[in-house]
Amino acid sequence: MTLALYILVTTLSLITLIYVIKFYSNQMAWAQYYRRNNNMPHHNLLLKYPFADKFKNQNTVNILDLGAGNGQESKYFLDMGCHVYAVDMNKMSIKLVNNKASADQKPRLNLIHSSFEKLDWDSLPDFDGVIALHALPFLSKQNLDYVWNKIQHKLKPGGIFIATLFGDKVTAVDSSEITMFHSLEEIQPLLENYKVLFAEELLSGTDDAVVHCFELILQK
């Protein structure tokens, strides 16, 4: 994929996300989001880490997909042969993730209808990878800190954590009460216990609708 196409796809998906945030207060908003994105491929950020190489000599690979949404990231790891734990508080998401898995993949798919805050973290195995794309910013700061700690605890040493967070320069969103926005400085403490393999700040759009996002690939 050329750089221009990558930037175009990234910008379009971020604009779609900002549209969703405005309607976060009800489940119908998510239904709309799922419909719009149902045929989207998995996020390009997954291609920036060589998962297939890392896992090639491993019998069982456990992946946690937090805020699984349409299930495209869960599907990516199921196709790779991983055991996937897909968590989402929206029932429709759980259904969509299930629909994306083929019959032979279903035994490796664990669907968990729960919020991240109320998730029974102790019942989960340790993970080789945790994916949280466009999901953690919907937590309050306190809950984000709690979930961030749980993720670190549940990652195996050397495990990979891929996350996106919204930046504080976003202007197209008016739901700041329920959404966590980070400045570059606020991102730093979150990286403390990780080796940063990839970190990019994306800033695009117009004066009226700035999209601002951080993409992170971290290793415990």
Contact residues: ligand SAM, CB under 6 A: 17, 20, 30, 37, 43, 67, 69-70, 88-90, 93, 115-117, 133-135, 138-139
Contact 74, 97 (CB under 8 A): yes
> From the CB of 95, what's the least distance to ligand SAM, in Å?
11
Q: CB of residue 93 vs ligand SAM: minimum separation in angstroms?
A: 4
User: In Å, how far are 21, 84, 124 from 79, measured between CA atoms?
Assistant: 30, 10, 21
Question: Whose CA is closest to 190, among 210, 169, 161?
Answer: 161
Can you tell me the distance from the alpha carbon of 119 to that of 112, in angstroms, rounded to the nearest whole number? 8
CB of 157 to ligand SAM, least distance (A): 25
Determine contact, residues 134/10, Cβ cutoff 8 Å.
Answer: no
Q: What distance in Å separates the CA atoms of residue 155 and residue 151, rounded to the nearest whole number?
A: 6
Give the CA angle between residues 113, 114, 120 to the nearest 5°: 115
Q: How far is the CB of 119 from ligand SAM (least distance, A)?
A: 8
Q: Shortest approach of ligand SAM to residue 67 CB, angstroms?
A: 3
Please, which residues bridge with residue 128 across strands? none
Pair type for strands 127-132 and 195-205:
unpaired
